[in-house]
Amino acid sequence: MTAEPILTISGLNVDYGTGPTGVHALRDVDLTLHRGEVLGLAGESGSGKSTLAYAVTRLLSPPGVITGGDVHYHRPGAGPVDILSLSPDALRAFRWQELSIVFQGAMNSLNPVHTVHSQLTDVLKAHRPAMRSAERTARAEELLTLVGISRDRLTAYPHQLSGGMRQRVMIAMALALEPEIVIMDEPTTALDVVMQRQILRQLVRLREQLSFSVVFITHDISLLIEFSDRIAIMYGGRIVEQAGASEIYRDPRHPYSEGLLHSFPALHGPRRELTGIPGTPPHLSAMPAGCAFHPRCGKAHDPCADQIPVLARPEAGQDREVACWLHTRPA
């Protein structure tokens, strides 16, 4: 893995609504995606993980507003592109071509009254106007084969496909223009485990072939540990810990990461009593002061209730960051 960044997010803030009723969905999010890497983004509902995906792709619709921060895309061999200030035309060219997104509900992302063929070629039609119809069809067939669907399904309508196949079509569409970055927002949550594994395995294979980078968003941290290179864990709109997948698994530093890991019963090894995390995730409109996790945290101490911990390296020289007063001293 090279350490060359391809997407850098710094100090990103997103609010839903403005004025006194507005809530902060994302606060000071710093995140870097490196070339060829699978970055896992884990968190519970309301932690801001999907908001992050929407903000980065500028798909955030009102009342969501980006109130601060930068998102830069580093095109190979060219200067950084500021995504947040792209003109509508440039943005349209940027999407799908450089960055694509696979949404959570494959069932709802495909248009039910159009065939797979017309939806796949639509992307090509918009971005490659010079392509001829026969070429587009050939490319669509190639894409379907790539994700493991036989090419005769090209004429099928979405309702004629199973959930797993629909999700594969969405992945094929995301890969149509061979983008550098693919953002996947809970791509397999609606699928069964067997199908989930098949699709993930395929994704790993495709990534080796086409070498794109992936931001993989899910609430299932045990899946991420197996599948991603690096994991960022979100809670209450902030990133609370960021480290390599195996480091998170073997040695979680943030009490929330630890609790999350202990919320999934293991399939192997000794059976042990698990407790989950007491309490419930905070609501965006009533975010606790200080560290958002402190009311649920068993290790909360003095500074936690009123000082917000900063994301920092727990020990110098380590390639991981954690936002917790257990590991950093308040200033």
Cβ atoms of 238 and 27 closer than 8 Å: yes
Contact track, another protein, 169-208, x by CB under 8 A = -----------------------xxxxxxx--x--x----
Q: How many whole angstroms separate alpha carbon 309 and alpha carbon 311?
A: 7
**Residue 58 in the binding site for another protein (CB under 8 A):** no
**Residue 220 in the binding site for another protein (CB under 8 A):** yes
Nearer to another protein, 84 or 287 (CB): 287
Tokens 């921060």 belong to residue: 69
- The sheet that has 38-42: what strands, in order across it? 99-102, 181-185, 213-218, 38-42, 230-235, 238-244, 321-322
Q: How far is the CB of 27 from another protein (least distance, A)?
A: 20
**Residue 219 in the binding site for another protein (CB under 8 A):** yes
Nearer to another protein, 2 or 45 (CB): 45
**Residue 1 in the binding site for another protein (CB under 8 A):** no
Cβ atoms of 42 and 221 closer than 8 Å: yes
Nearer to another protein, 138 or 266 (CB): 266
Could you say which DSSP state residue 95 is in? B
Could you say which DSSP state residue 107 is in? H
Structure tokens at 22: 């507005």
Q: How far is the CB of 243 from another protein (least distance, A)?
A: 14
Query: Site for another protein (CB under 8 A): how many residues?
Result: 40
Q: How far is the CB of 162 from another protein (least distance, A)?
A: 6
Q: How many whole angstroms separate alpha carbon 56 and alpha carbon 94?
A: 12
Cβ atoms of 98 and 182 closer than 8 Å: no
Q: How many whole angstroms separate alpha carbon 90 and alpha carbon 196?
A: 35
Contact pick of 271, 286, 315, 329 for another protein (by CB under 8 A): 271
Q: How far is the CB of 132 from another protein (least distance, A)?
A: 35
- The residues, any chain, with a CB within 8 Å of residue 63's CB and separated by 6 or more, are 16, 17, 18, 22
Q: How many whole angstroms separate alpha carbon 33 and alpha carbon 10?
A: 12
**Residue 164 in the binding site for another protein (CB under 8 A):** yes
Nearer to another protein, 269 or 317 (CB): 269
Contact pick of 19, 20, 21, 45 for another protein (by CB under 8 A): 45
Contact pick of 48, 255, 259, 309 for another protein (by CB under 8 A): 259
Rounded to the nearest 5 degrees, what angle is found at the Cα of 115, between the Cα atoms of 57 and 177?
Answer: 40
Q: How far is the CB of 78 from another protein (least distance, A)?
A: 35
Number of residues that this document lists for the chain: 331
Segment contacting another protein by CB under 8 A, of 92-100, 122-130, 276-284, 298-306: 276-284
- Residues in contact with another protein by CB under 8 A are 44-45, 162, 164, 192-198, 201, 204, 219-223, 225-226, 249, 259-260, 263-269, 271-278, 280-281
